[in-house]
Amino acid sequence: DAGVTQSPTHLIKTRGQHVTLRCSPISGHKSVSWYQQVLGQGPQFIFQYYEKEERGRGNFPDRFSARQFPNYSSELNVNALLLGDSALYLCASSEGTGAYEQYFGPGTRLTVT
């Protein structure tokens, strides 16, 4: 079975631009979570979506938004990019919000110049 997939793998953007990152969960998983990992730190929770509804949000500004589609795939959008948004963005899927194990994709490396 395919694991969590994310696209693109790498991305370079300029300050002030907008970016969209994509994630496809493991087949049968209905919950998708997004995390930001800055170099030298552990992943930080951004959002969780379940059945197309936002179930949780971390301490990130409103420039960050996300959505989940009927096929359970998800997009993470970041507006007005800042240099500090440079990070590895990880998507994780789980069977549901009550599931304890989350399975991560390979991530999208975003560089903001």
Partner 1 sequence: DQQVKQNSPSLSVQEGRISILNCDYTNSMFDYFLWYKKYPAEGPTFLISISSIKDKNEDGRFTVFLNKSAKHLSLHIVPSQPGDSAVYFCAARANDYKLSFGAGTTVTVRA
Q: Is the dihedral of CA 38, 35, 4, 18 positive or negative?
A: negative
Minimum distance of partner 1 from residue 34's CB (angstroms): 10
Give rounded-to-5 percent helix, strand, coil for the chain.
5, 50, 45
Structure tokens at 10: 């790498």
Q: Based on the shown chain and the rule CB under 8 A, indicate whether residue 1 belongs to the binding site for partner 1.
A: no
Binding residues with partner 1: total (CB under 8 A): 26
At its nearest, how many Å lie between partner 1 and the CB of residue 52? 15
Least distance between partner 1 and beta carbon 15 (Å): 25
| Phi, psi (rounded to 5 degrees) for 49 | -120, 140
- Residues lying near partner 1 in the complex (CB under 8 A) are found at 4, 6, 33, 35, 40-45, 48, 50, 55-56, 58, 90, 92, 97, 100-107
